[in-house]
Amino acid sequence: MTVLQEPVQAAVWHALNHYAYRDAVFLAERLYAEVHSEEALFLLATCYYRSGKAYKAYHLLKGHSCTTPQCKYLLAKCCVELSKLAEGEQILTGGVLNKQKSQDDIVTEFGDSSCFTLALLGQIYCKTDRLAKGAECYQRSLSENPFLWSPFESLCQIGERPDPEQIFKLTSLQSFNAGSGGGAPTFPISPAHTPSHNMPHRQVDSVLMETPQDTLELNRLNLESSNSKYSSINTDSSMSYIDSSVISPDSAPLGTGGSLLSKQVQNKPKSGRCLLGGTATLSPLTPSFGILPLEPSPGDPSYLQNYSHSGTGMEPPPPPGPPKKTVSRISQVGTKSVFAQSGNSREVIPNPFNQTQTTAPQTSTTPQVLSPTIAAPPNVQPRRSSRLFTSASSTAKENSKKLKMKFPTKIPNRKTKTKTGKGGITPSSLNESIEILKLDSSMAEGKGNISSPQFQAFTLQKAAADGLMSLMRDIGRGYLALCSYNCREAINILSQLPAHHYNTGWVLGQIGRAHFELAEYMQAERIFSEVRRIESYRVEGMEIYSTTLWHLQKDVALSALSKDLTDMDKNSPEPWCVAGNCFSLQREHDIAIKFFTRAIQVDPSFAYAYTLLGHELVLTEELEKALGCFRNAIRLNKRHYNAWYGLGMIYYKQEKFNLAEIHFKKALSINPQSSVLLCHIGVVQHALKKSDHALETLNRAISIDPKNPLCKFHRASILFANEKYKAALQELEELKQIVPKESLVYFLIGKVYKKLGQTHLALMNFSWAMDLDPKGANNQIKEAIDKRYLPDDEEPVTPDDYPYYSTELEESQESSMTDADDTQLHTTESDEVL
Amino acid sequence: MATAAKTPPGADPKQLERTGTVREIGAQAVWSLSSCKPGFGVDQLRDDNLETYWQSDGSQPHLFRVLTRKTTVKMLCIYADYKSDESYTPSKISVRVGNNFHNLLELRQLEMVEPSGWIHIPLLDLVNNPIRTFMIQIAVLANHQNGRDTHMRQIKVYTPVEESSIGKFPRCTTVDFMMYRTIR
């Protein structure tokens, strides 16, 4: 049976690795019809899922029993995607009625994929409002695999404060235990497969030997662990082996770096795998990284030494030849591949790879037969040793240093991409590390000494992964600071990243967001336009950019952005939010509402779309609906302080000042350094007649952000209302310096002077105010002036009186006739008005 | 053959909307007509399309009513075009406001002579504030050439927008102030 399956499975993986989903699906369906095994079922479901039809995978898996962890994991993933959260949870933990599995149970059951399983479970818990359990799952997932970014991100977003220093470090975890640790649990799950694998491998290997391999495939194959771990997660290892030629970087992410590495090593010899039966998450990207493992040839002899040649009669690769090549190549690759964000290194590697292949099959089989644990370390050793011995130890060290340094560079690229991909991609960084390590190992000239090379190889691996970890720690600290709204600190931390990481879409996007939260819209706009320049395909974070442009009233830029994004991607909520903001700026609120509703339709879990919709509804005076929208946003994300602010604003409009204050304070508790929030709280407190508190709050606001002119303005108006005219005037004079063209400032100064009885100055200021704002405030200003001439109506002008001002012209015009002094002013005003 | 000056067309209300000083609130209201010909009813009156119109089908005066919760109304805009509607074009319009059908008070009476575009009717009370009302009734008392029925192409009702987000101040003029006005 397995013999029949193998070539078909290999073909399916081959097609999958080349994104030929229709072929893959067709073949998988035929295979499944022929052989109703769980392997085949899983393969078919994977094909459906990868081709974007999660519902097919769901129905397929649901209709048949799935007992293997990989099937369960895939089914749970489909459930979550189709929003069937309860079902997903039941699959993973046994549900509410049955005995619930604990996290340890899950870890043992799912083995290598337990980190992903736990992350998925965490997601389910968070979406169903069980944040504590979700946080636990995420923490556990991170402890299983520190290379995962998305659980960390989710933890930050729900308000937990995970410690990046603790999380992003390679402890005894899997890492360099030749992945055996990770693989071990899973391995037993399909022990039956292993023996069968051996045979096919050999056969396949021989077959594959002839075929020219893409470096890509080779890489992938290497990365892919022929491990049971891999098989547990992906399809059977047998499939992967069949594809020997294909190395998918995808496999790398499986499990921890260490295990991957070890697996890689194992895989390399196999080199048989054409198709990566890889992780669903990985895509065979960055082949450049994958190429590194090519230097097995030097290692080959060592392999051969270590393992009995059981392979097909592949002639032993000419050790002298390849080693030389590898040495040179390695240095080459070292420089290239490490940095090769583009697939440069790929070209370099092809040759050695072939050779690797030859040797691979032989060695590959052995690992297969043995448990991964046993296999891994020995595999690793020969590789490294050969490399280490060829070059002087110093060079090795240099290389390792280089690799170490370069490693972080590479990672970020992956990282940025992975960030956009939202998790699951971080493992790609592992690929890099793996590649580097492969590189090292390949260098080994088969010089024999296994013990120290082993150690050195281990050290090199560790160095590379450490580089990644330190980068992730920095980024983690920055992100954590941003999520707790310590924006200054976040900007500092993220700005200290190396330049090649700094200039990536994700990092700049976070920095832009930090500026946005600080209300520094100019800087935010600059940074976001840089993001657009670097990564024009990036949509995450663009909704913040659009709001920045809305604040700055840059309608041209905003409409251009809206057009670009909606043309590019109609299935994400961000472009629709941008379009909505664009129309909102044009004051077409009904159309803006339509766009925001569309954003919500596209992604019902995007909280910001609800907030924006709420704001639009407030502007169209549909306060009840707006309340509903803000509450929805809060339901999705309790830490969405914009929604709390929105609720506060609605209550303020309805003059429920107490409620308004409570909501503003809640928003402030989430984002304590927002001067706008403090300003609003100050005004509300003043409305509640707590003027002292109001002044205190405004003082605090000004101290946090001295550039916010509105705080000073409101402080001045409160002082004015409390009849502290001198202080108010002083405040306003300062404000005049900061914002010389704002008519409100002159308006308020005029009122103060009027109160003080200095009518000339008052009039002067009123006229200035009117000059600066022909429409809008015009009538209020006119009213203010008119009141002068109605001595009976001379009442204290408090902020509460403003709404009283009408928008009538005639009265002012008439009154203008009565006072010769003002005729001049009034006539000019009326001209402007008309 | 109008000896009086023709009523000049007013500005397109859309431009008014863009200034942000007014907002159209017709969508929040309930509209009713005294009579209409099938296919020429409220939808045609409110569809933003100047080609379609409401045609009345009863005796004069023809009425249409706008019913809302208590709203501040600043202005009413009517589109009328003598050239296309000729004898169907209204010539005398009366605007009445009040709480319900029974206590409407006439606010304004307006005479139009061969109108050819938007007519702006400001609705202001005695102290020249925008009125706050539950219901507005517009009565077409007479048509051009003494036509019996009337065509009304488009009607828009505007409320003033209070721009100030916080504090009862008039609008800010500079971007510097507006940036800090609100959190979005």
**Mind listing the pLDDT tens digit for each residue in A401-447?**
444 444 444 444 444 443 443 433 444 444 444 444 444 444 444 44
pLDDT band at B114 (very low <50, low <70, confident <90, very high): confident
Number of domains in chain A: 2
Both A667 and A714 in a single domain? yes
Q: How far apart are CA A149 and CA A153, in angstroms?
A: 6
Q: Name the closest residue on chain A to residue B23, using Cα atoms.
A: A620
Q: B96-109 pLDDT, tens per residue?
A: 999 888 889 998 89
Q: Name the closest residue on chain B to residue A773, using Cα atoms.
A: B173
Mean pLDDT of A130-157: 92
Report how far apart the first and last C-alpha atoms of chain B are (Å, whole number): 56
Q: A112-128 pLDDT, tens per residue?
A: 888 999 999 999 999 99
Q: Which of A547, A594, A621 to mutate to test the interface with B (most CBs of B within 10 A)?
A: A621
pLDDT band at A449 (very low <50, low <70, confident <90, very high): low
B174 contacts in chain A (CB < 8 Å): 739, 741-742
B164 contacts in chain A (CB < 8 Å): 802
pLDDT at A619 over 70: yes
pLDDT at A347 over 90: no
Question: Side chain identity at A551, as an amino acid letter?
Answer: H
Q: Is residue A758 part of a domain?
A: yes
Q: Which of A523, A578, A587 to mutate to test the interface with B (most CBs of B within 10 A)?
A: A587
Are the CB atoms for A414 and A432 separated by under 8 Å? yes
Q: Which of A521, A552, A710 to mutate to test the interface with B (most CBs of B within 10 A)?
A: A710
To the nearest whole Å, the CA of A124 is away from the closest chain B CA by 29
Q: What is the mean pLDDT of chain A?
A: 71
To the nearest whole Å, the CA of A703 is away from the closest chain B CA by 15
Structural tokens at position A819: 């006072």
Q: A688-697 pLDDT, tens per residue?
A: 999 899 999 9
Both A728 and A765 in a single domain? no
Q: Which residues are registered as beta bridge partners of B67?
A: B30, B135
- HEC-encoded secondary structure of A557-593: HHHHHHHHHHHHCCCCHHHHHHHHHHHHHCCCHHHHH
Q: How far apart are CA A772 and CA B173, in angstroms?
A: 8
3-class secondary-structure state, position A83: coil
**What ipTM is given for this predicted complex?**
0.85
Reported pTM: 0.70
Please report which helix (H) or strand (E) contains residue B46, including its range.
none
pLDDT number for residue A77: 94
Q: Is residue A568 part of a domain?
A: no
Q: How far apart are CA B160 and CA B176, in angstroms?
A: 24
Q: What is the share, in percent, of chain A residues with pLDDT greater than 90? A: 40
Both A663 and A718 in a single domain? yes
Q: What is the share, in percent, of chain A residues with pLDDT greater than 70? A: 58
Both A676 and A730 in a single domain? yes
A682: left (phi over 0), alpha (psi -120 to 50) or beta: alpha
Both A664 and A713 in a single domain? yes
Q: A164-199 pLDDT, tens per residue?
A: 988 888 775 555 444 433 333 333 333 344 344 444
B13 in contact with A, Cβ within 8 Å: no
Are the CB atoms for A399 and A388 separated by under 8 Å? no
- Beta carbons of A679 and B180 less than 8 Å apart: yes
pLDDT at A271 over 60: no
Q: Is residue A669 part of a domain?
A: yes
Both A750 and A731 in a single domain? no
Beta-carbon contacts of residue A350 (< 8 Å; ≥ 6 apart):
A213, A214, A215, A218, A291, A294
Mean pLDDT of A1-20: 84
- Beta carbons of A547 and B184 less than 8 Å apart: yes
pLDDT at A789 over 60: no
Measured in residues, chain B has a length of 184
- Beta carbons of A739 and B167 less than 8 Å apart: no
Both A689 and A766 in a single domain? no
pLDDT number for residue A555: 92
B19 in contact with A, Cβ within 8 Å: yes
CA atoms within 13 A on the CB side of A745: 24
Domain range for A770: 743-788
pLDDT number for residue A262: 41
Are the CB atoms for A674 and B183 separated by under 8 Å? yes
Q: How far apart are CA A740 and CA A736, in angstroms?
A: 5
pLDDT number for residue B164: 56
CATH of the domain at A726: 1.25.40.10
Q: Is residue A341 part of a domain?
A: no
pLDDT at A151 over 90: yes
A649 contacts in chain B (CB < 8 Å): 165-166, 182
Q: How far apart are CA A197 and CA A272, in angstroms?
A: 12
Q: A681-738 pLDDT, tens per residue?
A: 999 999 999 989 999 999 999 999 888 898 999 999 999 999 989 999 998 999 999 8
Q: Of A772, A788, A804, which residue is a domain's last?
A: A788
B135: left (phi over 0), alpha (psi -120 to 50) or beta: beta
User: Sign of the C-alpha dihedral, residues A222, A436, A495, A472?
Assistant: positive
Structural tokens at position A443: 């260098």
Mean pLDDT of A567-583: 95
Question: Side chain identity at A820, as an amino acid letter?
Answer: A
B110 in contact with A, Cβ within 8 Å: no
Q: Name the closest residue on chain A to residue B131, using Cα atoms.
A: A806
Are the CB atoms for A76 and A91 separated by under 8 Å? yes
Q: B52-70 pLDDT, tens per residue?
A: 888 888 888 898 888 888 8
A709 contacts in chain B (CB < 8 Å): 176-177, 180
CA atoms within 13 A on the CB side of A206: 11
Query: At the fourth CATH level, which superfamily is domain B13-163?
Result: Galactose-binding domain-like (2.60.120.260)
